[in-house]
C-alpha cells in the first residue's frame, strides 16, 4: 500500500481542527444563558372588562396620588396592614358573610383582602372584625361587614365599572369597591373625614379611589355617568341628581327612610330607556344624610 501524501495529511488535519472549533463555538453559544424578560400584557381602558393575570398589579410610571385620574387602575397591596389579621378576616367572611348567602366571588375576595382594622380608630381596632358597626368619629360609623358585602354584591360590579359612593366615612366601603371596580369616586360632606380618608386610602395604595369633600346630594356630575352608585347614609328621598348620573343599565343601592326611624335598603335599576325600577331588600339603620337633602325645597321634590 502506498504511503499517504504529507500534504494531504496536513490538509486533513486542518479540516478536522476547523470542524472541532466550529462545534465548540456552536456548543458555547447554546450554553450562554439567555436574559430573563418579563412581558407585561397591555391594559387599555377599552379592554377593562377582560380578565387579567393580576388585576391588582399597578401600572408603572403612574402617579401614586389617589386623586390623579391617570393613576394605576388597581390597589397595590404593599402596605403591611394587608398582611395583618388575615385569619380574622377569613373568619369574618366565613361566619358573617358566606353564612348569610353572599356568594359573589369578587366580593368575598375583596372582603378577605381589605384590612378593616386600618379603617377604624385605634381604640376600636380590637373590634374591627366583629359583626357590628363601629364609631369612626365625627358622629359617623363604619358599617357592619355583612352590610358592606351585601351592598357591594347588589351593585354587580365588574372590573371595568365606574362607581360613585355617597358618604366616604373612613373609606372602607370605597376600598372594598375599589378591589373590584376600575374607579371609585367617593364624596364625604364632613371635611375632616374626607381628608383623613383620602390620606389613608393613599397610604394603603388605593390609587383608583378619588375623594371629594362635598355634599353628596349633587353627586359628581363632571365624572358622570356611573355604572353603580352606593349611598351609606339614609335620606327621606333619593336625590334626583344621583338618578340622572346613573348610567342606563346601571344600579344604585342606598338606605331610605327617616333619620332615626324606619329605614329600608333599596336597589334601583335604570333601563336603557331611562326608566327606574325600585325594590326594597331589607330593613336597616344608617346614620342620616345631611346637607341639601334636608332643605325644604329638596323635600318638596320628594
Residues annotated as part of the active site: 143
Q: Which cell numbers in the block locate residue 88?
A: 380574622
**Contact indicator for 56, 75 with CB cutoff of 8 Å:** yes
Residue 80, H or E segment: none
Residues contacting 28, CB < 8 A, separation 6+: none
Beta 263-270 vs 134-137: how paired, if at all?
unpaired
Beta strand residue intervals within 237-275, DSSP E: 246-257, 263-270
Q: Which cell numbers in the block locate residue 231?
A: 349611598
Report how far residue 281's alpha carbon sits from residue 16's, in angstroms, rounded to the nearest whole number: 87
Report how far residue 117's alpha carbon sits from residue 85's, in angstroms, rounded to the nearest whole number: 8
Task: Tell me how crowded residue 112 is: count the other CB atoms within 10 A of its CB.
Answer: 15
Of 47, 78, 37, 44, which is closest to residue 59 (Cα–Cα)?
44
Q: Which residues pair with 166 in a beta bridge?
A: 187, 231
Q: Is the dihedral of CA 157, 45, 173, 180 positive or negative?
A: positive
Residues contacting 85, CB < 8 A, separation 6+: 115, 117, 128, 129
Report how far residue 80's alpha carbon sits from residue 152's, in angstroms, rounded to the nearest whole number: 25
Report how far residue 175's alpha carbon sits from residue 172's, in angstroms, rounded to the nearest whole number: 5
**Contact indicator for 272, 249 with CB cutoff of 8 Å:** yes
Report how far residue 91's alpha carbon sits from residue 119's, in angstroms, rounded to the nearest whole number: 18
Amino acid at each position: 500500500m502506498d504511503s499517504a501524501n504529507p500534504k494531504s495529511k496536513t490538509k486533513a488535519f486542518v479540516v478536522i481542527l476547523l470542524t472541532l472549533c466550529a462545534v465548540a463555538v456552536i456548543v458555547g453559544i447554546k450554553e450562554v444563558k439567555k436574559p430573563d424578560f418579563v412581558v407585561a400584557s397591555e391594559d387599555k381602558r377599552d379592554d377593562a372588562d377582560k380578565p387579567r393575570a393580576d388585576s391588582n398589579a399597578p401600572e408603572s410610571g403612574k402617579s401614586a396620588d389617589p386623586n390623579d385620574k391617570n393613576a394605576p387602575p388597581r390597589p397595590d397591596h404593599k402596605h403591611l396592614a394587608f398582611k395583618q389579621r388575615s385569619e380574622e378576616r377569613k373568619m369574618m367572611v366565613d361566619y358573617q358573610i358566606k353564612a348569610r348567602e353572599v356568594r359573589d366571588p369578587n366580593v368575598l375576595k375583596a372582603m378577605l383582602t381589605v384590612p378593616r382594622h386600618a379603617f377604624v380608630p385605634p381604640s376600636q381596632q380590637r373590634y374591627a372584625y366583629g359583626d357590628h358597626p363601629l364609631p369612626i368619629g365625627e358622629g359617623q360609623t363604619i358599617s357592619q361587614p355583612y352590610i358592606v358585602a351585601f351592598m357591594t354584591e347588589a351593585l354587580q360590579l365588574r372590573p371595568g365599572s365606574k362607581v360613585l359612593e355617597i358618604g366616604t366615612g373612613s373609606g372602607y366601603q370605597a376600598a372594598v369597591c375599589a378591589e373590584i371596580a376600575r374607579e371609585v369616586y367617593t364624596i364625604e360632606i364632613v371635611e375632616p373625614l374626607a381628608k383623613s380618608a383620602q390620606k389613608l386610602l393613599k397610604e394603603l395604595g388605593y390609587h383608583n379611589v378619588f375623594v371629594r369633600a362635598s355634599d353628596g346630594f349633587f353627586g359628581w356630575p363632571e365624572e358622570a355617568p356611573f355604572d353603580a352608585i352606593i349611598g351609606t347614609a339614609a335620606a327621606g328621598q333619593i336625590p334626583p341628581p344621583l338618578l340622572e348620573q346613573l348610567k342606563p343599565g346601571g344600579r344604585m343601592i342606598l338606605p331610605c327612610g327617616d333619620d332615626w326611624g324606619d329605614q329600608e335598603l333599596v336597589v334601583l335599576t335604570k333601563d336603557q330607556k331611562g326608566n327606574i325600577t325600585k325594590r326594597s331588600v331589607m330593613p336597616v339603620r344608617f346614620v342620616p344624610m345631611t346637607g341639601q337633602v334636608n332643605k325644604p325645597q329638596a323635600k318638596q321634590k320628594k
